[in-house]
Structure 1
Amino acid sequence: MMKKSETVSSFQMAMLFLAYGTGSAVINIPAPLTGAARNGAWISVLLACAAGLLLLFACLYLYRANPGLDFIEHSEKTIGRWLTLILAIPYLCAVFWMLAAIVIDIGIFFKSTMMKQTSADLIHTLFFVLAALTARAGIEVMARMFVLLLLSMIGFIMIVLLMAAPHYHPYFLLPLMPDGIKPVLHGAYIAYGFPFAEASLFAMMLPYVRNQDKHVLGKHMVWALLVNGVTLLASVLCSIMTEGPLAGHMKFSLFQLARLIYIQEIFERVESVIGFSLIAGSYMKATIVLFILSKTLTRLAKLQDDRILIYPIALACLLLSVTMYRNETEFIEGVNVIWPLLNNIAFNVPLILVLTVTLFKRNWRKGRPSPAPSP
């Protein structure tokens, strides 16, 4: 059993999950998704969201099977410690890469839009310092803080989408699938890999929910994922209706959309609002991933102090973020092509394996005849 003094409500956990799932995806995904699926990009979002729901149901089932255990502890109980350690190797490698990639992405955004003369290394360092300080403060601080940041981020995005309404051209949505179903499936592959396939990581967080809220956790988590899907769907649709065929070729398409807003010299240059949303989303997601990575290593190493590894992990990921990629093209290819496949291998294969063994053991116990009563 995990002994934790910190707990959060089911609503706060759902908000953390929404911040983790939405994060930077709502700003980053519309462009590559539309580039792959074209007018059918919104269908790709629906397919990816459905796959994300299945992964979330798997995490919730494991949580209900052993409410006090996180995924690592549940895996050790189900398939043994040594097999868990073997499966943890690609899992940890992928999470380290994921954390570094989140900060690389925000560095690319700053260098290409708002702070072109600022060193990317400085941006990465500041982000990791903030993420490490917040993660070390604990999940309760994160939950209280991120609710306000998340509501502000989503509110700003929705305001920008509404203010851009005069620039929408619904006829850009047609024809629906000009090149058939294959591009839509390609888009679903991209959207599934980022952010929906990452839902399985949250199996490490669920045991922090208070006992009195456990009965409503599933409902809140499902609603959070659906809100994530709707937000991403709205961003994709608005990007297509505004930019048409160019939507797939413009980086940070929501940022470009915000630049079009001009209302009687009162509202203009509101793209900084979208910039804030991306910064806030990336910061929240980086902090949550750092927290999960620290907890995972702590459980595997059987350490007593849950926070002792946060600063070393942040330093290691900072070094990764400044050395992994030589240019932006390599990074984009890694996110859109390699990351969805790596997600399935590193995160979802262990989840499905542990789920399968858990179901098999439960069915075997139910089918086993009860011992005869002694005379």
Structure 2
Amino acid sequence: MNKQESISSLQMSMLFLFFMTGSSIVVVPAPLTNLGGNGAWISLIIAAAMGILLLAGILYLHRKYPELSLIGQSRALLGHTLTLILLIPLTCVMFWNIAGIVIEIGTFFKNTMLKETPTYAVNSLFFVTIALTALAGIEVMARMAAVLLTLMFAFIILIWLLVGSLYHPEYLLPVLPDGIGPILNAAYVVYGFPYSELIVFAVILPFVRRKDNAKLGKHMYAALIVNTMTLILSVLSSIMVLGPLSGDLKYSLYQLARLIYVQELIERIESVIGFSLIVGFYFKASILLLILMKLLKELLKLDDERYLVLPVSFICFLLSVTTYTKEAELEELVNISWPLINNITYVLPVLLILVVAVIRSQFGKSKKQNV
């Protein structure tokens, strides 16, 4: 995580795709279908459109200030004091966000494969792995992403193909049995997780090599579209196989894997697929920890943020074993509170910075024209 580190725009887009898809591919389909019914895929399109607008905002700021991260942009446009007021809440929520991802990992294992294993044992092992990954730096993580992303998507596509004989397209109708209300409610939830979270990538965009900046926008938009299509196909496949149960059974993709049966040759492979899906949780948490380290380094004006990795990981671990120990509380947070929290702490500061940047840009143009 040194200043000299740099990655290509393609590598940044792979990290972005991993961040957006990693945990959402496991967590999102079931509650989204539960809220939006057969029209859950429409909710994804609405939420993704809002995500594209947010991505356009952070890319605009990056084009204007390619050498500065979100903190540097805020200091240049709003000043040091207002930067602290705006970004300290964002930093605090990121602690909570990392802990929440690992809580989901522990819950997934508890409900599927390691039912007798204490949650703290799973969480502690994951935090050790996450901390060591973040310590390796963004260049190493970018190289890892190429391999792990291929593995994760290969297993996702394998699930879609192997359950093909169980598809019932008629389950997709009617699309809007209860009107547009449930669709908008589901869109609000999936916008809160994962689309509003993409704002944090404004912290690490300066790591992209300057010569690749021209391609960055194209690669990032492509990654977001791939993420959206993956979630839509996962929702559609879960509805076509599970029907009305798709919204009630948690971890839809894992549930589909349990149904795979091919001529007594391929069956009961859900554990292998489950572990491959866990890679998404692990890598998203690692990326988020890396971003948090960069954020703390600039806010606290430190020379080396690596000394903070282990203490920060320990704090997140404590949050993961003491916060939302009941699944119902976690579901309520994700479905109701998380979109609002993200809008206030993630989106609002960036929108304010963006508005000031646009005003200054327009003012500078008009000033030049008058001269």
Tell me the TM-score normalised to structure 1 length.
Answer: 0.97
> In the alignment, does 2:323 pair up with 1:324?
yes
Q: Which residue of 1 aligns with 2:74?
A: 75
Q: Which residue of 2 aligns with 1:359?
A: 358
Residues 125-204 of structure 1: pairs in structure 2 closer than 5 A: 125-204=124-203
What is the letter of the counterpart of residue 168 of structure 1?
Y
Q: What is the Cα-based RMSD across aligned positions, in Å?
A: 1.3
What is the letter of the counterpart of residue 152 of structure 2?
M
> In structure 2, how many angstroms separate the alpha carbons of the residues matched to 1:95 and 1:306?
16
> In structure 2, how many angstroms separate the alpha carbons of the residues matched to 1:140 and 1:3?
10
Q: Is the 8 A contact 1:103 1:127 kept in 2?
A: yes
Greater CA drift, 96-105 or 277-286: 277-286
What is the letter of the counterpart of residue 14 of structure 1?
S
Q: 1:110 is paired with a residue of what secondary structure?
A: helix
> In the alignment, does 2:116 pair up with 1:117?
yes
What is the letter of the counterpart of residue 273 of structure 1?
V
> In the alignment, does 2:243 pair up with 1:248?
no
Q: Is the 8 A contact 1:254 1:274 kept in 2?
A: no
Q: Which residue of 2 aligns with 1:275?
A: 274
Q: Which residue of 2 aligns with 1:219?
A: 218
> In structure 2, how many angstroms separate the alpha carbons of the residues matched to 1:212 and 1:264?
52
Deviations 1:109-138 (A, max 9, x none): 101100111111011001110010010110
Shift of 1:3: 7.5
Deviations 1:329-349 (A, max 9, x none): 111111121111111111000
> In structure 2, how many angstroms separate the alpha carbons of the residues matched to 1:3 and 1:364?
36
Deviations 1:242-282 (A, max 9, x none): 11111110010111111111011111012123312321000
For structure 1, the residue ranges without an aligned partner over 5 or more in a row are: none
Q: Is the 8 A contact 1:153 1:276 kept in 2?
A: no
> In structure 2, how many angstroms separate the alpha carbons of the residues matched to 1:318 and 1:145?
24
Deviations 1:16-70 (A, max 9, x none): 0000000110111000000000010000011111111111110100000000000
Q: Which residue of 2 aligns with 1:40?
A: 39
Q: 2:279 is paired with a residue of what secondary structure?
A: helix
> In the alignment, does 2:338 pair up with 1:339?
yes
Residues 15-94 of structure 1: pairs in structure 2 closer than 5 A: 15-94=14-93
Shift of 1:369: 5.3
> In the alignment, does 2:3 pair up with 1:4?
yes
Q: Which residue of 2 aligns with 1:308?
A: 307
Q: Which residue of 2 aligns with 1:288?
A: 287
> In structure 2, how many angstroms separate the alpha carbons of the residues matched to 1:93 and 1:3?
23
Greater CA drift, 327-336 or 16-25: 327-336
Q: Which residue of 2 aligns with 1:298?
A: 297
> In structure 2, how many angstroms separate the alpha carbons of the residues matched to 1:260 and 1:279?
19
Q: Is the 8 A contact 2:296 2:305 kept in 1?
A: no
> In structure 1, how many angstroms separate the alpha carbons of the residues matched to 2:223 and 2:190?
17
Q: Is the 8 A contact 1:95 1:293 kept in 2?
A: yes
> In structure 2, how many angstroms separate the alpha carbons of the residues matched to 1:66 and 1:214?
11
Aligned residues: 371
Moved over 3 A (4+): 369-372
Q: Is the 8 A contact 1:156 1:273 kept in 2?
A: no
> In structure 2, how many angstroms separate the alpha carbons of the residues matched to 1:369 and 1:14?
36
Greater CA drift, 324-333 or 44-53: 324-333
Q: Is the 8 A contact 2:9 2:209 kept in 1?
A: yes
Shift of the 369–212 alpha-carbon distance from structure 1 to 2, 3 Å rule, reads closer
> In structure 2, how many angstroms separate the alpha carbons of the residues matched to 1:262 and 1:369?
69
Q: 2:112 is paired with a residue of what secondary structure?
A: helix
> In the alignment, does 2:257 pair up with 1:258?
yes
For structure 2, the residue ranges without an aligned partner over 5 or more in a row are: none
> In structure 1, how many angstroms separate the alpha carbons of the residues matched to 2:282 and 2:307?
21
What is the letter of the counterpart of residue 14 of structure 2?
M
> In structure 1, how many angstroms separate the alpha carbons of the residues matched to 2:370 and 2:268?
75
> In structure 1, how many angstroms separate the alpha carbons of the residues matched to 2:179 and 2:252?
24
